[in-house]
Structure 1
Amino acid sequence: MAYQALYRVYRPQTFHDLAGQQHIAQTLQNALTKQQFSHAYLFTGPRGTGKTSAAKIFAKAINCEHAPVAEPCNECAACRGITSGSIADVIEIDAASNNGVDEIRDIRDKVKYAPSEVRYKVYIIDEVHMLSTGAFNALLKTLEEPPEHAVFILATTEPQKIPLTIISRCQQFDFRRIPSSEIFERLRFVVQNQKIDAEDEALQLIAKASEGGMRDALSVLDQTAAYSEATVTVQDVLDVTGMVAGLMVRDLIDLLEAGGAAGAVGKIGELLDQGKDPLRLIEQVLFYYRDLLLYKTSPELEDLLSRPHVDDDFCKQAEAVPAERLFQVINQLNSAFIEMKRTNHPRILLEMAVVRLCQPSELSNPSAGTASVPAALEKRIDNLEKQVRQLSVAPQPVHQQEQHQEQSHTRAPRRNKALRIPTAHINRVLTDATKEELVELRSVWAKVMAKIRSENVAAHAWMMESQPVASSAEGFVQAFKYDFHCQMVMENKNNIMGLVQSIVQDVTQKQKIMYPIPEETWKTMKKEFIARSKSSQDDNGGKKEEDPIIAEAKKLVGPDLLDIKD
C-alpha cells in the first residue's frame, strides 16, 4: 500500500480523539444520545483544528447501526463506508471549487430523495464562505426547512463572510486553536506509534510552530522525520521550518539591549544568509520580548510563555530590561512586522527596525502618541501643567480670604478685561446658535481633543479644561475653567486657535471660528444675553423695533465695528 501522510493516518475517528475541542464534543455527544440533534450546523475556526473531522464523526454517529450512540463504533458497514468515502449518502463538497448557483441547485433538487444506504443524508460543505451570493440564496430555503432525512454541516475559517440569514438557521460551534501542550502530547503518541526517534524539545518546537493547528503539526513532523538521518532533533526542526535557535535569538536580544547596532545588523545578516525567513525571525524576536514582559510582570504565568522552559539567562534578561522598554520594543516590532508583510523587501524593513531599537530611548517612538515631542520638552510641559493646576485650584486660607475679599472681587474684572473678550462676536454666535449645532460639536469633541494631542501636546494641555458651550453654523464659544488657560490660548491664537479650528473643520466638515472665554465670564454673559432677549419681546410676543440711530450706524460702519453701550 502507498505511503499515507501522518495527518491522514491519524485523523480523528471519534469525538474522544478531537484534541482541544472538548466543549464541542460534549455538546454533540449529548445531542446524539438524546436524539435532539439539529438539521444544520456551522463549524467555524482556524485551519487544522478538526472541523471536517468532527463533521465526518457526526455523520458516522447518526448513521451508526447501533445509534443512538455518543461515539460511532467504526466497525459496522455504515461507519466503515463513511470513513472510506464509499457511502453515497454522505456528500463532501468543496465550496471553493463548487461555488456557483448550479451546484447548489443540484443539491436542492436531490436532497428531497431519501437516502439509499443509511438513515440520514449528510451534506458537508467545506469552506462555505466561498459560495457566491446567488448560491447562498439558493441554499437558504433548503437550509431552513430540509427534509427529515437530511442534515447540513457547513465548515469555514472565515465566518464573517457568511450571510446572517444562513448563520441564523444553523447551530454554530467555534473551534479553538489547540493548546501547544495537547499538540505535544499527540505528537508524542504518534512518534511512539510510528517508532520514530524524536527529542521532546523538537516536538515542543513543532507544537509551537504549528500555531494551534494539529494538521500543520503532523505535516511538519512528517517532513522533519523524512529530513533527519535517525533522530528528529531541534536543529532538524529549525532547518525545516526556517526558525532560529533560541540561543541565537538570545544573543540578538543582548546586542539590541546593549545598543550594538552594527553587531545586531551583522547577526541578522548572518541568519538571513543561512536561509532563515525574515518574517519568521522578527516573529521569534517579538515573541521573545513578549515572554520577557510576561515573566517580568507575572512570573507565576510561566505556562503562558511560548518558550519550552525558563532558564537563568532568561531570568537575568527579564530583570535587566525595564518594563517601559519592553512595551516600546513590542510596539515597534509589531509595526515593523505588519509593514514587512506588505513589502517585497522585508529584509530592509527588518534591518531598519533593528537599527531603531538600538538607538537611545530618548529618541522618538513612532508608535506613541507623543512621538513628535522631545522628552525634555514633554517633561517641561508636565511641570508647567502641575504649576498651573496648583495655582488655579489651591484654596487660600480663610483669614486671607476675609482680608483680601474686596481685592479679589476687583481683580477679576481687570483680568477679564485684559483678555479682550470678543463680546460682539460671541453675542452674534449666541443669536445664531442652535441646540443641534452644540450637540453635534460636543458629540465629536473627544475625537477633536485626541487629534489635538497627536498634533500638539502643549495645545492639548491648554485646551484640556475647556468645553464648547454654544455653537452656530459659523462659530462656537469655548469656555475655560481657568482664566490662565484662556489667556494662553488667546495669546497664541495664530498657533493654538488655528490648530483647533482646522481640526474641528476636519472632523465636522464645517468651518467654524472659536471664541475663547473664561467660565465665570461666560456665565455672566449668558445671563445678560437671556435677560436682553426677554426684554426685547413686547407684551404681544413680538420684537421691539430697533433704535433708528443704531440702525443707521450699522449701515455706515457695519455691525462688527459697532460697540453698543447702554
Structure 2
Amino acid sequence: MYQVLARKYRPRNFNELVGQNHVSRALTSALERGRLHHAYLFTGTRGVGKTTIARILAKCLNCETGVTSTPCEVCATCKAVNEGRFIDLIEIDAASRTKVEDTRELLDNVPYAPTQGRFKVYLIDEVHMLSTHSFNALLKTLEEPPEHVKFLFATTDPQKLPITVISRCLQFTLRPLVVDEITEHLSNILNKEEIKADQDAIWQIAESAQGSLRDALSLTDQAIAYGQGAIQHQDVKDMLGLIDRTIIYDLILAIHQNQKARVSELLMQFRQQALDVSLVLDQLISTLHELALLQYLPELSLKYSAEINNKIMQLSQLISAQDLQLYYQVACKGRADLQLAVTQEQGFEMCVLRLLAFRPLQPNEILVSQTQVANQPIQPAQQPIAQQVQSIPQVDEVQAISPEPETVSAAVDHLDDEYYDDDPFNEPSAVQAIEDEQSSDDFLEQELESTVEPVQVVQAMVEATPVQPESNADQIVFDPSSDDALFGMDEELAATSPEQEAEKYNSDDFLFDEIAPLAEPALSEQTKIPVQEVKQPEVTESVATPPQDSLFDLSSVPAVDAVETSTVSTMPQEMIDTALMPQDILKLQPQVLEGVWTVDKWEFWFRNSELSPAVQELAQQGVMTGQINAESIFNIPKRYEALLTQLQHALEQALKSEWPNTHFQVNYAEVETTTPYTMQNERKAKAFQRASDLLHNEAAVKDLMQNFDGEIQNIQLK
C-alpha cells in the first residue's frame, strides 16, 4: 500500500531531523548527561516537527539499550514506537478530549508503573484545546509526577496555555524552516523516489509551503500526481494557481516607462486568465520588496532561473530607490483597500492605474499641458502688473523657456540677498548643472530651476512701473531684533505731522514704497549705519527672554529691559504682573523642598517631577499637608477616589524615591484652600491679559488699528 511522503520520510532520530538544530542539540545533551525534566513543551507552526520530536524523545527514553540520544532502531521498543503500537507511549488528542472527566481518567492511571518500557510517556497534542478545569486538574500531577512518568506537550498556540502550565515545563520553540532547507530535503527525497523534477518547481513548492515541511511534502505528492510522475515548473504554477513572474516584471517595467498600451494589455490578460488578483498583488508587492533589497544588497543570491535572475537585476538597476518606495507604498495601500472595492478585480485594476497615475516623472520627460501659453511672448511692462503676472507660465510650462544658468545667476545676484533669504530659488543648487545620474527627484529640481525666470520677469516689470518718488524721511525701517526699535519709531511718528501721515497712508504706491527699502541695506535714520550693525545696549540682568516662536514678537517690547531682579521682587504683585512677560508669569517660583508642605512647594515638586501626565493631572486637584520626608497627607475631594486608587502607587513611589522616610496617607475631603489647579488657571488668565496688553501696545499694531479701523481677534498663547 502506498504511503504518503510526509509519513514515509518522517525523521526517526535526531540526526534525520531537518532545521531544528537548537532543539535537537539541547535534548541530545540532556539525554547523554541524564539531566531529564519531567515535562516538555514543544511550540511552533504546523508541520515543523513538534510531534515527531516528541516521539523521538519517547524512543530515546525507552530504548532497550538504555537512555540514549541515538536509539538502536532494531529493538522491540524502537520498532513499536515507529509503528505506533508502543503501549507505554500514550498519545492523546486534546482537541477531542477537552472535558475535565477525560483528564481525570488520564490522571488515574499515572501512578501505575509502565507495562513494557522504562518510562510511561504521555504525549498530548494540541494541548491548548484543554479546558480551564482540565488544566487545573493537571497542575498538581504535572508539577510532581512519579519518577516513571514523562509529559510531552505539543501546541501551535502557546498563548492560550495558562502561565502555571508553562512554568512547569521546559519550553522549546520550533522555528519555520527556510526555503533552502526545504528545497534540499525535497531534492533528496525525490532522488530516492527516482522522480524527475525541475529545480524551479521544487523551489516554488518550498516557497509555497511557508516554512512547513509537512505542507511541502503534501504539495510534492500533489505535484507528482498532477504531473503524471514528474514535477514540471509550469505544472506546479498551474496546480497552485500562481502566475508567471515574468508578467509581474513586465507590468512593473510598463508602469515605470509609462507604456499605457502595455499596461492595458496585461490587465486584459489577467482578466482572461481569471487569476486570483489578491495573489497577483501579493506577488507584485513581494517583487518590489525584492528589487529594493537588491539595490542595497547586490550580492543577494537569487533562487530563480538565469532568465528571471537577469530580469530582476535589470529592473533593480533601472528603477531608482525613490520610485520603488513610492510603488511599494501605493501597492500596499491598494492591498489594504482591496476588500473595500466592489470586486477584488476592480480594486486591483484601480491600484495598477494609481501606480501609473502617480508615476514620478523621468529625467527625459516634461509636462506639456499648456505649451501654447508657454510659447507666447511676454507682454510689455506698460500693461497692469496683475495682467502681466497672469501671463507668466506656471512651473509645468516654463521648461520651454528655461534660461541659461549664467543668466539665472545674474538675475539672482541682482536682487538683494536679504530680501530673498527664504526664497528656495536662491539656493546654489538651483543654478548648477546636474552632472550625476538623475532620478525622478532630480527632475523636480530642474522644474524649480526654471521658475527663476518668472521672478526675473516680475522684477523687471516692477522696475519699469512708474513709481512716485518719496523722501527717505517718510520711510519706516523696523528691525524686530532691536529692543529700541519701538522707541525710535514712536519718536519718528511723533515728529511727523498728522497731514504728512495722512498723505503717506493715502498714497497709492504705499505698498511698493515699503518694499523698496528692502532691496538695499536699511540705514538708520540718524547715523546712516546699517541696522544690522547697531549693537544692543548691554543689560546686566534681564528678567525675561521672550521666545522666538511666540505669536507676536516679544523681543521688540522694551517692557523690563535693564530692570534689576531685586527691584521687581519689591514691587506689588499687580506691578510685577504688568512688568513680566507672559511666559514669566506662567513660570513657577523655585521652592526649597524642606520642612512643612505648602501649596507652592507641592505644585513646584510634582510639576517638575517625572510623574506621568495622568498622575500630575490628579495631583493638581489636591493639596499635600504635613512634613516633607515624614508624615505626608494628601487631601483630595472624594470624587477622585476611584482614579486615585489606580494611580496612588505611582505617586507614593515617586515621593519615597526622593524622600525615603515619607509616610504617605490619603484624606478624602473637600479642599478648602487654593489648589494648584486654581493657581494655574489664575496664572494663565494673568499671562493672557499681559499678552493682550503687550499686543495692543505695539506701535505698529496701534497704527494699523488707528488708520485702518482694525481690531485684534482670537489671541492665543502657545
TM range (shorter): 0.5 to 0.7
Aligned twin of 1:51? 50
**Helix, strand or coil: the match of 1:67?**
coil
Task: Tell whether the 8 Å contact from 1:476 to 1:514 is kept in structure 2 after alignment.
Answer: no
Report if aligned partners of 1:429, 1:475 keep a CA contact under 8 Å in 2: no
* 1:279 paired residue number: 278
Tell whether the 8 Å contact from 2:586 to 2:683 is kept in structure 1 after alignment: no
Identity value in percent: 35
Structure 2: distance between partners of 1:383 and 1:79: 83
| Residue number in structure 2 paired with 1:354 | 352
Correspondences of 1:281-360 after superposition (within 5 Å): 281-300=280-299, 302-303=300-301, 307=304, 311-340=309-338, 345-360=343-358
Give the partner amino acid of 1:83.
Answer: N
Structure 2 CA distance for aligned equivalents of residues 476 and 162 of structure 1 = 55
One-letter code of the match for 1:76? Answer: C
2:167 equivalent to 1:168: yes
1:5 paired to 2:206: no
Letter in 2 for 1:406: P
Matched to 1:285, the amino acid is L
What CA distance in whole angstroms lies between the structure 1 residues aligned with 2:715 and 2:110? Answer: 68
| Alpha carbons of structure 1 residues 129 and 349: separation in structure 2 relative to 1, 3 Å | farther
Secondary structure, aligned partner of 1:188: helix
In angstroms, what is the RMSD of aligned CA positions? 4.3
Q: Which residue is equivalent to 2:83?
A: 84
TM superposition score normalised by structure 2: 0.53
Q: CA shift at 1:27, angstroms?
A: 1.1
CA distance in 1, matches of 2:195, 2:320: 44
Name the CA shift for 1:312/1:70 in 2 (closer, same or farther; >3 Å): same
- Secondary structure of the structure 2 residue equivalent to 1:165: helix
Residue range with higher mean Cα deviation, 217-226 or 281-290: 281-290
Q: Are the aligned partners of 2:224 and 2:231 in contact in 1 as well (CA < 8 Å)?
A: yes
Q: Distance in 1 between matches of 2:50 and 2:227?
A: 31
Deviations 1:399-455 (A, max 9, x none): 99995122999997663589x9995996699999675567699759xxxxxxxxxxx
Closer, same or farther in 2 for the Cα pair 1:109/1:209, shift >3 Å?
A: same
Deviations 1:22-55 (A, max 9, x none): 1111111111111212111111112111111111
Contact 2:47 2:214 in 1 (8 A): yes
Per the alignment, residue 248 of structure 2 pairs with: 249
Residue identity in the other structure for 1:271: F
Counterpart residue identity of residue 326, structure 2: Q
Q: Residues 497-547 of structure 1: CA distance to partner in whole angstroms, max 9, x if unpaired? A: xxxxxxxxxxxxxxxx99636xxxxxxxxxxxxxxxxxxxxxxxxxxxxxx
What amino acid sits opposite 1:405 in the alignment? Q
The answer to whether the Cα contact below 8 Å between 1:434 and 1:472 also exists between their aligned partners in 2 is no
SS at match of 1:92: strand
Name the counterpart of 1:516. 717
**Deviation digits for residues 453-479 of structure 1 (CA, Å, limit 9, x no counterpart):** xxxxxxxxxxxxxxxxxx94786999x
Higher relative contact order (CA 8 A, sep 6+): 1
**1:81-100, CA deviations, whole angstroms, 9 ceiling, x for partnerless residues?**
11211122212222222222
How many Å separate the matches in 2 of 1:477 and 1:272? 69
Q: Find the aligned partners of 1:186 and 1:404 in 2 and give their Cα distance.
A: 81
Q: Alpha carbons of 1:354 and 1:85: their partners in 2 closer, same or farther (altered >3 Å)?
A: same
Q: Which amino acid aligns with 1:404?
A: K
Distance 1:439 1:184, change over 3 A: same
User: What code does the residue aligned with 1:356 have?
Assistant: R
Q: Following the alignment from structure 1 to structure 2, what is the Cα–Cα distance between the partners of residues 325 and 16?
A: 48
- 8 Å CA contact 1:224, 1:236 repeated in 2: yes
> Secondary structure of the equivalent of 1:207?
helix
**Corresponding position of 2:184:** 185
Counterpart check, 1:153 vs 2:155:
no
Check whether the contact 2:480–2:556 (CA below 8 A) recurs between aligned residues: no
Asked if structure 1 preserves the Cα contact closer than 8 Å seen for 2:588 and 2:604, the reply is no
What are the equivalent positions in structure 2 for 1:461-476 lying under 5 Å apart? 472=677
Flag the 1:233–1:424 CA change in 2: closer, same or farther, 3 A: closer
Q: Does the 8 A contact of 1:278 with 1:347 survive in 2?
A: yes
Q: Secondary structure at the match of 1:15?
A: coil
Match of 2:536 among 402, 405, 412: 405
Task: Tell me what 1:200 maps to.
Answer: 199
Structure 2 residue 127 is matched with structure 1 residue 128: yes
Counterparts of 1:86 and 1:114, CA distance in 2: 18
Maintained 8 Å contact 1:261/1:354: no
C-alpha distance 426-264 of structure 1, shift in aligned 2 (>3 A) = farther
1:545: which partner in 2? none
Structure 2: where are the runs of 5+ without partners? 362-395, 397-420, 427-478, 482-529, 547-553, 560-577, 590-598, 615-675, 685-690, 697-713
- Contact map agreement 1:202 1:232 (CA 8 A) in 2: yes
Letter in 1 for 2:70: E
Cα distance in 2 for partners of 1:439, 1:392 equals 37
Give the letter aligned to residue 267 of structure 1: L
Letter in 2 for 1:297: Y
Deviation at 1:277, TM superposition (A): 2.7
Give, in whole Å, the separation in 2 of the partners of 1:274 and 1:26. Answer: 49
Match of 1:113 in 2: 112
8 Å CA contact retained: 2:480, 2:555: no
The one-letter code matched in structure 2 to 1:6 is L
The 3 A distance-change label for structure 1 pair 263 and 416 is farther
TM-score normalised over the length of structure 1? 0.66
Q: Distance in 2 between matches of 1:286 and 1:326?
A: 10
- The equivalent residue for 1:415 is 556
Q: What SS does the corresponding residue of 2:139 show, helix, strand or coil? A: helix
Output aligned runs, 1:410-559, within 5 Å. Answer: 415-416=556-557, 423=582, 436=606, 472=677, 516=717
1:280 is displaced (CA, Å) by 2.4
- 1:255-274 maps to which residues of 2 (within 5 A)? 255-260=254-259, 263-264=262-263, 267-268=266-267, 270-271=269-270, 273-274=272-273
Partner of 1:526: none
Question: Which is richer in helix?
Answer: 1
Cα pair 1:43 1:174 within 8 Å, conserved: yes
Q: Distance in 2 between matches of 1:170 and 1:514?
A: 66
Q: Against the structure 1 CA distance between its residues 328 and 236, is the aligned structure 2 distance closer, same or farther, given a 3 Å change threshold?
A: same
1:422–1:295 distance in 2 versus 1, CA, 3 Å: same
CA change 1:424–1:168 in 2 (3 A) is closer
* Residues 1:92 and 1:230: Cα distance change in structure 2 (over 3 Å): closer
Letter in structure 1 aligned against 2:536 = Q
Residue aligned with 2:151, SS: strand
SS at match of 1:152: strand
The aligned length equals 433
- Aligned AA for 1:326? L
AA in 2 matched with 1:19: V
CA separation of 1:75 and 1:429: change in aligned 2, threshold 3 A: same
- Contact 1:78–1:118 at 8 Å: present in 2 too? yes
Q: Which runs of 5+ in 1 are unaligned?
A: 364-375, 377-381, 394-398, 445-470, 479-485, 492-512, 518-566
Q: Distance in 2 between matches of 1:100 and 1:434?
A: 60
